[in-house]
């Protein structure tokens, strides 16, 4: 998608942080934006920021773990704006600062339902509607640099598991949509100034309710960017049809060692196979 003006975008987790940064970037491009978030108190202030950039905004209180809520939101967006061209499955939470053995079953369910399940539900609710009108569109699934490398200092294992899964999900979706006019981007941001590290403070009762816990360690060795930068990066990725969209060049030095280990393991497999 080269031309975004006049198109309609939907962003989950848009009440704050990277989601709001994406929504504002869409508004600057002349798009109408539906802002979805489970925290109703964040939505109207977020919508006002979008409107300040000249965009039309539709705030909708939605829990991405509930597919029927996303389906109803899609109906509302089509009623308000006519069509949907871009879906950004961005809503996410984090569990960190502990070993996997210390993660409770309810914490696993919360993070997988939200990060992975929310992305699956967003694809199911919005992609068929994007395909239906035939004008083309784009799917942006927010993974993380944590979807490409597991940082031993951060100890965010459950989060990384969910973000690795989003990479595989998105690659599979890109295969399904190859040759069509609907593109896919895996957005893999690094360190940003957002409130995601306080996720547990806003956790729903069915997942154990809100609790204040020590936040995960802060990623070092790279600048903490502002959400508006994420928005600009997503716009560029959509325009350029990028499958992988990173935000920090510093990520290379963490991803490359993992890739080298994989290639070395494949080399060892060649040797093993020749000897068997």
* Residue 207 is a catalytic residue: no
Q: Which of 159, 164, 187, 207 is catalytic?
A: 159
Give the three-class secondary structure for 143.
coil
> Beta strands of the chain (E only): which ranges?
8-12, 32-37, 57-61, 86-89, 137-142, 182-188, 244-246
Phi, psi angles (nearest 5°) of residue 187: -90, 120
Identify the residue whose tokens are 């489970």.
38
Please give the Cα distance from 135 to 217 (Å, whole number). 44
Sequence-separated (6 or more) residues with CB below 8 Å from residue 1: 7, 85, 86, 136, 137, 138, 183, 238, 239, 241
> From the centroid of its chain, how far is CA 19?
8
Q: Using DSSP bridges, classify how beta strands 182-188 and 57-61 pair: parallel, antiparallel or unpaired.
A: unpaired
Q: What is the dihedral of CA 190, 171, 100, 269, to 10 degrees?
A: -110
Catalytic residues: 159
């Amino acid at each position: 998608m080269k031309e975004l003006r006049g198109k309609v975008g939907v962003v989950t987790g848009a009440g704050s942080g990277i989601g709001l940064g994406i929504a504002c970037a869409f508004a600057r491009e002349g798009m109408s934006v539906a802002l979805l978030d489970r925290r109703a108190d964040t939505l109207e202030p977020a919508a006002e920021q979008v409107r300040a950039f000249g965009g039309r905004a539709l705030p909708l209180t939605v829990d991405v773990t509930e597919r029927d809520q996303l389906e109803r939101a899609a109906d509302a967006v089509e009623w308000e704006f006519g069509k949907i061209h871009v879906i950004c499955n961005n809503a996410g939470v984090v569990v960190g600062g502990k070993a996997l053995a210390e993660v409770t079953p309810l914490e696993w369910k919360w993070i997988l339902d939200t990060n992975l399940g929310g992305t699956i539900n967003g694809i199911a609710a919005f992609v068929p509607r994007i395909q239906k009108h035939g004008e083309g569109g784009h799917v942006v699934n927010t993974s993380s640099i944590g979807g490409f490398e597991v940082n031993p200092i951060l100890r965010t294992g459950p989060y990384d598991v969910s973000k690795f899964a989003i990479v595989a999900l998105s690659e599979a979706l890109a295969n399904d949509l190859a040759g069509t006019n609907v593109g896919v981007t895996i957005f893999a941001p690094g360190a940003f100034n957002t409130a995601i590290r306080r996720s547990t403070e806003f956790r729903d009762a069915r997942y154990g309710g809100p609790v204040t816990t020590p936040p995960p360690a802060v990623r070092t060795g790279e600048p903490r960017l502002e959400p508006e930068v994420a928005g600009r990066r997503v716009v560029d990725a959509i325009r350029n049809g990028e499958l992988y969209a990173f935000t920090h060049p510093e990520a290379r030095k963490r991803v490359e060692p993992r890739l080298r280990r994989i290639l070395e393991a494949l080399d060892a497999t060649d040797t093993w196979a020749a000897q068997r």
